[in-house]
Amino acid sequence: MPAPLAQALTGVRLIDGTGRPPVDDATLIVDVDGRIVSAGPGRLAPPLPDDVEVVDGRGLTLLPGFVDTHVHLAMGTGEGPFHRLRTDPAVIAFETAARLRSTLEAGVTTARDLGGLSAGYRVAVERGLVSGPRLHVAVKVISHTGGHADFHLAGGEMHTHLESMSEIADGIEEVRRATRRIVRSGADVVKICTTGGMGSPHDHPDDEGLRIDEVRAVADELERHGGKPLAAHAQGTAGIHAAVLGGVTSVEHGYGVDDEAIDMMGERGTFLVPTLSTVFMGIDRDRMEPYHYEKKIRWSGITKTNVAHAIDRGVRLALGTDSGVGPHGQNLRELGWLVELGMDPMEALVAGTRTAAELLGLAHDVGTLEPGRLADFVLTDVDPLSGIGLLGDPAHVVVVAQAGRVVKDLAGVFDRPRAAALATAGGLAAATVTTTEGPSA
């Protein structure tokens, strides 16, 4: 038996996340469990049951909820390195909750936090205790002593930033134990550092972090514990090669990606998450430590050149912003940067929806507006195919829904009188509106 209908959103322009051309005057039907019954051309033919919420979406474009695969929701820009030392933990928790909410209202209905956020926040979102994207969390980041996740001051007596974010490990056996501790903490994904980075005080993006044998040891531990994905902070070329050869699922940043790396990633199905927001935004001499500013200036042009080449080569690319290093709540600006470096707007939308969901192993539930998927969707008042950069302004993200539940509605779209919506829905038979049972939750 088909599931009882809960919502019928009519008159929208549909971009479903698959890469197929847009569909004008489309209808989305969602059942009471928050899953999509159908999405495609055709209007509804009244009469309809009284318990169906018919919504008039004329003038708006319907998109899947976006998936940001690289955020740091425990970090806020401008906080400074000692913010957690002088701030009450309760305040920290509420600051994090505010960032979760702003990320969701930006149109990101699913996010992967790659360091700093405990598994408890994932549980809190699942239970409805706090509003935010559904979460995958790495909890901590594995780095060697003096590597990208080591924020000890000179001399090693004081650790700035997020001490709870770092898991320092040197050598294969320590790396294995660190992996086990992170899995024990409830992590959905393990993150390692195979290079240095921009914001870390003791290294550079070209410096190598975990070596191939250490990366393989982490990958082996994960295979032994259910096959969780492995993400690598990898900026310099040698560290990117080590990450890919070691068996990571995704290369994060990838600023020094070259043709050899692209070939290896293609052979292995490795994803690239380029976090272009950190390159295009937030380079501020007055706010940044001198070492950080100098590295950013040096690598900005290199990154744009190499990532543009990777896009041209057809690398498997997923959206990620590194929010926390940059501002929260502007996640979809990343789509505009992808287009600026050569992606077609539709390809950029797919990178932020279907491909990002594939990276997280969630493509059966989110990332596209197809029968059986969860009804995570966004309504926008702009045309993302002609002005994709405008999506980065949350004011243009008019409606956000998560599993059929509306969590943002700037224009009162879901408050429009049912009679008016029914008038819009009428006129055409519903022959193209089909009911398809999808996978269970």
CA-CA distance, 414 to 205, in Å (whole number)? Answer: 48
pLDDT of residue 433: 34
Query: pLDDT at residue 14 above 60?
Result: yes
Query: What sign has the CA pseudo-torsion 148, 151, 153, 156?
Result: negative
CA-CA distance, 34 to 6, in Å (whole number)? Answer: 8
Confidence of residue 154 (pLDDT cuts 50, 70, 90): low
pLDDT of residue 430: 35
> What angle do the packed helices 259-268 and 290-312 form, to 10 degrees?
60
Q: Which residue spans of the chain are classified as CATH 3.20.20.140?
A: 66-359
Domain 5-65+368-425: CATH superfamily, name plus number: Urease, subunit C, domain 1 (2.30.40.10)
Q: What percentage of residues in the chain have a pLDDT greater than 70?
A: 88
pLDDT of residue 202: 78
pLDDT of residue 1: 43
- Mean predicted confidence (pLDDT) in 402-415: 94
CA-CA distance, 296 to 308, in Å (whole number)? Answer: 18
pLDDT of residue 435: 31
- More reliable by pLDDT, 439 or 33: 33
Q: pLDDT of 214-232, one tens digit each?
A: 999 999 999 998 899 999 9
Which residues have a Cβ under 8 Å from the Cβ of 173 and sit 6 or more positions away? none
pLDDT of residue 225: 85
pLDDT of residue 434: 32
- Mean predicted confidence (pLDDT) in 268-279: 95
Q: pLDDT of 204-214, one tens digit each?
A: 899 999 999 99
Q: Kindly report the three-state secondary structure assignment for every residue of the chain.
A: CCCCEEEEEEEEEECCCCCCCCEEEEEEEEECCCEEEEEEECCCCCCCCCCCEEEECCCCEEEECEEEEEECCCCCCCCCCCCCCCCCHHHHHHHHHHHHHHHHHCCEEEEEECCCCCHHHHHHHHCCCCCCCEEEECCCEEECCCCCCCCECCCCCCECCCHHHEEECCCHHHHHHHHHHHHHCCCCCEEEECECCCCCCCCCCCCECCCHHHHHHHHHHHHHCCCCCEEEEECCHHHHHHHHHHCCCEEEECCCCCHHHHHHHHHHCCEEECCCHHHHCCCCCCCCCHHHHHHHHHHHHHHHHHHHHHHHCCCCECCCCCECCECCCCCCHHHHHHHHCCCCHHHHHHHCCHHHHHHCCCCCCCCCCCCCCECCEEEECCCCCCCHHHHHCHHHEEEEEECCEEEEECCCHHHCCHHHHHHHHCCCCCCCCCCCCCCCC
What rounded mean pLDDT belongs to the chain?
89
Predicted structure pTM score: 0.91
Tell me which residue has tokens 């043709």: 259
Q: Flag the least confident range among 65-79, 120-134, 236-250.
A: 65-79
pLDDT of residue 281: 82
Query: pLDDT at residue 10 above 50?
Result: yes
Q: Flag the least confident range among 70-79, 167-176, 262-271.
A: 70-79
Q: pLDDT of 65-88, one tens digit each?
A: 999 999 999 988 777 667 777 889
Confidence of residue 292 (pLDDT cuts 50, 70, 90): confident
Q: Which residue spans of the chain are classified as CATH 2.30.40.10?
A: 5-65+368-425
Q: Which amino acid is at 386?
A: S
Q: What percentage of residues in the chain have a pLDDT greater than 90?
A: 72
Let me know: does 168 contact 156? Beta carbons within 8 Å.
no
pLDDT of residue 117: 95
Let me know: does 374 contact 357? Beta carbons within 8 Å.
no
Query: pLDDT at residue 156 above 90?
Result: no
Q: pLDDT of 308-347, one tens digit each?
A: 999 999 999 999 999 998 899 999 999 999 999 999 999 9
Q: CATH fold of 66-359, please? A: TIM Barrel (3.20.20)
CA-CA distance, 12 to 62, in Å (whole number)? Answer: 6
CA-CA distance, 27 to 9, in Å (whole number)? Answer: 6
pLDDT of residue 320: 98
Distances (CA, A) of 400 to 110, 171, 409: 12, 45, 7
